[in-house]
Structure 1
């Protein structure tokens, strides 16, 4: 299934408003963490998978990348990216990342921010990524943490007297589809995978693991969104940095 929920008008409207507010988990948890792993971008070629509205692609250009290609399935997102960010060395492509064909192109860095959990065939995607990396090229991605995606349904916090008693973890080894209610009811489809699957699939396709981060909220984030203190109890995201170790 190649999901394009971001072209749903209601979802796109609400998601865009959330990102523009600057008060969200991306800003206070995921983005600081993933950017902390980015190597020097000076003169590097970058592929941004699931680029959304292009904010990270632009970040790479602003930090010295030689050229950046952003790929996203959503027409709404790509149109917004082209409107917001224009640069001779920045190009956006509207198509599913699973279908991209970039003949005779190799990249120093492939990045994917919170998009891999939408991919049904993770193994095939990693195989494609390996072929698009230069020797010693890096693949860095964030995804929803398996602790967050394992349990089916939407009510993961168990509450006692309206207080969050504990996070309910269940169905962890049962990989596959999970359906979330996020701006649209029973429409957002993601794929739950164990930590072992996330890591071992990279290794099986010729990538070595450099670092793994289970990020916590920044101090500013906790101040502006007090509930983010619960990231220390149940992490929302996991970020994995890997490197190509073969010449295929």
Structure 2
């Protein structure tokens, strides 16, 4: 099942308005950590899966990447991406992409893999597309966040104060339905062992794992980020294809 919520007009308008503020979990937690985990980009051929409006692609080119191929299921997001001679965009779901073996030095993805139903098949594809010695770097929602069947884990008192985060249904992998601006947003929960073993199975050697915290000064601008010390929202992996 492939869902494209970013082309939903209500969701897209909200998301664009939110990202334009520069005061988001992406800005203060996930993106700084993801960028810090990228390998040397000079002269590299990169694939960006779930590239959105191309912000990460533009950053990688600015850091020396020779070429970036960005792919996204959302036409609305791709329409926002600026043209660049070193960036090519493909409209379509990442599960249906087809590249020659050993096409890329780096494959990167920001908060997109939790929308993919068949993680194992995706890792198999990625391992084939990477050159020996090439890297995979991706962020996804943390398994403690996606575990509960209703994906609503905060337990609050009668005044709405968050008391603790309830972890439940952790071993029950699979589809999750949640409300995020619109109803019935579909994500997929996987345990940490599934995320790690899916890479290892296809010859991707884990180099780094990060459960990112807010950058310095972020909580003053976005006080709700204090909850990141109580429960992580994201997890980021860096792996290298053996043989390089």
In structure 2, the CA distance between the partners of 1:137 and 1:105, relative to structure 1 (3 Å rule), is closer
Match of residue 229 from structure 1? 226
Deviation at 1:152, TM superposition (A): 1.7
Q: Secondary structure at the match of 1:202?
A: helix
Give TM-score scaled by structure 2 length. Answer: 0.97
Establish whether residue 170 from structure 1 lines up as the match of residue 141 from structure 2: no
**Alpha carbons 2:102, 2:132 under 8 Å: kept:** no
Structure 2 residues without counterparts, runs of 5 or longer: none
Higher mean C-alpha deviation, range 223-232 or range 103-112: 103-112
**Which residue is 1:103 aligned to?**
100
What's 2:83 paired with?
A: 86
- Looking at structure 2, the residues matched to 105 and 144 of structure 1 have their Cα atoms a distance apart, in angstroms, of 28
C-alpha deviations, 1:21-79, integer Å up to 9, x for none?
11110000000100110111111110000000110011011111000000001111111
User: CA separation in 1, counterparts of 2:79 and 2:227?
Assistant: 35
Offset, 1:113: 0.3
1:162-191: CA deviation from partner (whole Å, max 9, x where unpaired) = 3211001000000001111111022x1000
**Contact 2:154-2:164 at 8 Å conserved across structures:** yes
Deviation of the 1:154 alpha carbon: 4.2
Q: TM-score, normalised by structure 1?
A: 0.95
Match runs of 1:105-144 below 5 Å? 106-144=103-141
How many matched pairs?
243
Correspondence list, 1:1-248, <5 A: 1-81=1-81, 85-103=82-100, 106-160=103-157, 161-186=159-184, 188-246=185-243
TM-superposition CA deviations, 1:104-161 (whole Å, max 9, x none): 6611110000000000000000000001101110000000000000012143111124
Distance in 2, Cα, partners of 1:95 & 1:230: 35
Closer/same/farther in 2, CA of residues 234 and 104 from structure 1, 3 Å limit? closer
Deviation track 1:177-215 (CA, whole Å, cap 9, x = no partner) reads 1111111022x1000000000001100011010000000
Judged with a 3 Å threshold, the aligned counterparts in structure 2 of structure 1 residues 111 and 162 are, in CA distance, closer, same or farther, namely: same
Q: Which aligned runs of 4 or more in structure 1 are off by greater than 6 angstroms? A: none
| Partner Cα distance (1:221, 1:66) in 2 | 32
Give the CA RMSD over aligned residues.
Answer: 1.2
